[in-house]
Amino acid sequence: MNSKSNKSALKIREGIEQPSQINRKAAKEYRIHKKNILLPDDYLKEILKGNRSVLSKAITLVESTLAAHQEIAQKIIELCVPYAGNSIRIAVTGIPGVGKSTFIESLGKYLTASGRKVAVLAIDPTSTRTGGSILGDKTRMEELSVDPHAFIRPSPSAGTLGGVARKTRESIILCEAAGFNTIFIETVGVGQSETVAHSMVDFFLLLMIAGAGDELQGIKRGIMEMADAVIINKSDGENKLKAEIAKKEYEKTLKLFRRPPSGWQPIAGTCSALTKEGIPEIWEIISRYYEITKKNGWFDKNRQEQALYSMHEMIKEFLTSNFYNNPKISSLLIEQENALKNNKTTSYLAAQLLIDAYKKEIE
Minimum distance of a copy of itself from residue 144's CB (angstroms): 28
66/351 with CB nearer a copy of itself: 351
Determine if 71 is a binding residue for a copy of itself (CB under 8 A).
no
336 is an interface residue for a copy of itself by CB under 8 A: yes
Shortest Å distance, C-beta 311 to a copy of itself: 4
Out of 110, 283, 290, 323, point to the residue binding a copy of itself (CB under 8 A): 323
Nearer to a copy of itself, 59 or 150 (CB): 59
Query: Residue 199, interface with a copy of itself (CB under 8 A)?
Result: no
Is residue 77 involved in binding a copy of itself (CB under 8 A)?
yes
Does 350 participate in binding a copy of itself (rule CB under 8 A)?
Answer: yes
Contacts of 38 (CB under 8 A, 6+ apart): 31, 32, 46, 54
Q: Residues near 160 by Cβ (< 8 Å), separated by ≥ 6? A: 125, 128, 317
A 10 A CB-CB count for 327 gives 8
Task: Name the residue type at position 304.
Answer: Q
Give yes or no for residue 325 binding a copy of itself (CB under 8 A): no
Under rule CB under 8 A, residue 81 binds a copy of itself: yes
Q: How far is the CB of 347 from a copy of itself (least distance, A)?
A: 4
Residue 199, C-beta contacts closer than 8 angstroms, at least 6 positions apart: 165, 306, 309, 310
Binders of a copy of itself in range 222-241 (CB under 8 A): 222
Contact between 198 and a copy of itself by CB under 8 A: the answer reads: no
Identity of the residue, 39 or 307, whose beta carbon is nearer to a copy of itself in the bound complex: 307
Task: Choose which of 7, 67, 139, 256 interacts with a copy of itself (CB under 8 A).
Answer: 256
Segment lying near a copy of itself (by CB under 8 A), choices 21-29, 175-183, 202-210, 216-224:
216-224
d(CA 335, CA 339): 6
List 53, 320, 330, 331, residue binding a copy of itself (CB under 8 A): 320
The footprint of a copy of itself (CB under 8 A) covers 1-2, 74, 77-78, 81-82, 85, 166, 169-170, 173, 213, 215, 220-222, 253, 256-257, 304, 307-308, 310-312, 314-316, 318-320, 323, 336-337, 340-341, 343-352, 354-355, 359, 362-363
